[in-house]
Amino acid sequence: MVCLGHRMDGEREYMDTDMNRHENLLKARIQDLSRDIIADYGNDRVIDRLEMFTQPDRQVIEELIGKLLRLVYPGYYRDYTYHIINPEIHLAALIEDVAYHLIREIGIALRGSSLLPEAEAEKRAEDITAAFLKKLPEIRAYVEMDLQAAYDGDPAASSKEEVIIAYPGFYAITVNRLAHALYQLEVPLIPRIMTEYAHSKTGIDIHPGAQIGRFFFIDHGTGIVVGETTIIGDHVKLYQGVTLGALSTRGGQKLHGKRRHPTIEDHVTIYAGASILGGETVIGHDSVIGSIVFITHPIAPGTRVSIKSQELLYKNGQGFTIEPDIPNQDPVWFYMI
């Protein structure tokens, strides 16, 4: 008779030995893989950089966006980490916190892009931060006009408060105005991090270099693209899916710094899905651009551009073409909102 206890002990010992063998093999494989991966970092490429703190911290920049929004709209973006007794003291502390982190991150960005000495980069970062914070009242004046444009232009808006709290287009515009101010002050990388964060949250992609006038309104917004050298005048309204882009990017970096994107003059409305491309393309003031149009040439002021009603093909269940029962009507010019 085999003792059950001895048999179980033997099986356990065998299992333990097998597990140890497996663990040792796994460790050896991981060590080999680790050596191969670490060796791959020695190829002196941009992606091989190992030094820490040579680029701005994306998470810190994203947190700064939240803090800046609390400065722009102090009653709408709250800090839940502690109870606010005196709003003025809280805002003063918030401004100091924003300044500290901006100086640090801008200094890192300047050292990384321009190879400035640390002391010079920090001094320049302090000057840029002071200039940026001085612009906040001007930025707030612009977003107040954007708020008015959104409320006036959208019959679905029940209040201006709703626009501030809930509208993704308004959020993207505000972040872009903040990022554009830093872009104008020649801050590397950080403005793009800011607008790409807004892009990830809203689906609205506005380059921080785009020049945008007063009373700018984005309705719905998903899929909008506004390129770096775009110029937008006052009282412009964009709907979802609009592209203000380059006619061609095949030139790559040779096109850097050149006008590649269109100019949209004052009081222009561009409906859903329209594509307007090219640095020579100017949409004249008081024009209306209909849905799904594709424009690569200048449009005179006061022009309405649209597509006639699409020709629809109707077939029955057997696949035969049929004529639909549609009342006689004139050709329709349509927009998609």
Kindly list the strands in the beta sheet with 225-226, ordered across the sheet, starting from the edge strand earlier in the chain.
205-206, 225-226, 243-245, 275-277, 294-295
Amino acid at position 165, single letter:
I
Q: Among 18-22, 34-38, 286-290, which range has the highest average pLDDT?
A: 286-290
Last residue of a domain, one of 154, 169, 203: 203
One domain, residues 249 and 179: no
Q: Is position 6 within any domain?
A: no
DSSP annotation of 118 reads H
End-to-end CA distance of the chain: 86
Q: Is position 57 within any domain?
A: yes
The answer to whether residues 283 and 275 touch, using CB atoms and an 8 Å cutoff, is no
pLDDT confidence band for 117 (50 / 70 / 90): confident
pLDDT value at residue 45:
85
Query: Residues 6 or more apart from 104 whose CB is under 8 A from it?
Result: 60, 125
Residue 57, burial from CB neighbour count under 10 angstroms (0-12, 13-18, 19+): middle
Residue 335: pLDDT over 50: no
Q: Which of 88-92, 197-201, 255-259 has the lowest mean pLDDT?
A: 255-259
One domain, residues 233 and 176: no
More confident residue, 46 or 292: 292
What is the reported pTM?
0.82
pLDDT value at residue 241:
97
Residue 161: pLDDT over 80: yes
Amino acid at position 105, single letter:
E
The span from the CA of 297 to the CA of 301, in Å, is 13
One domain, residues 327 and 193: no
Residue 131: pLDDT over 60: yes
pLDDT value at residue 328:
64
One domain, residues 187 and 273: no
One domain, residues 238 and 289: yes
The pLDDT of 50-65, averaged and rounded, is 86
Q: Is position 31 within any domain?
A: no
Taking all residues of the chain, what is their mean pLDDT, rounded to a whole number? 87
**Cα separation values, 279 from 83, 227, 231, 244, Å:** 51, 10, 10, 10
The pLDDT of 182-197, averaged and rounded, is 97
Residue 7: pLDDT over 60: no
More confident residue, 236 or 306: 236
- Summarised one tens digit per residue, pLDDT across range 264-312 is 999 999 999 999 999 999 999 999 999 999 999 999 999 999 887 777 7
The span from the CA of 292 to the CA of 294, in Å, is 7
Domain range for 312 is 223-337
Domain with 166 in it: what CATH number? 1.10.3130.10
**Cα separation values, 314 from 162, 320, 326, Å:** 43, 8, 12
The pLDDT of 151-179, averaged and rounded, is 96
One domain, residues 69 and 198: yes
For 305, the enclosing helix (H) or strand (E) is strand 304-305
Q: At what angle do helices 168-184 and 190-202 cross, to 10 degrees?
A: 170
Q: Is position 44 within any domain?
A: no
**Cα separation values, 28 from 6, 18, 22, 32, 41, Å:** 33, 15, 10, 6, 21
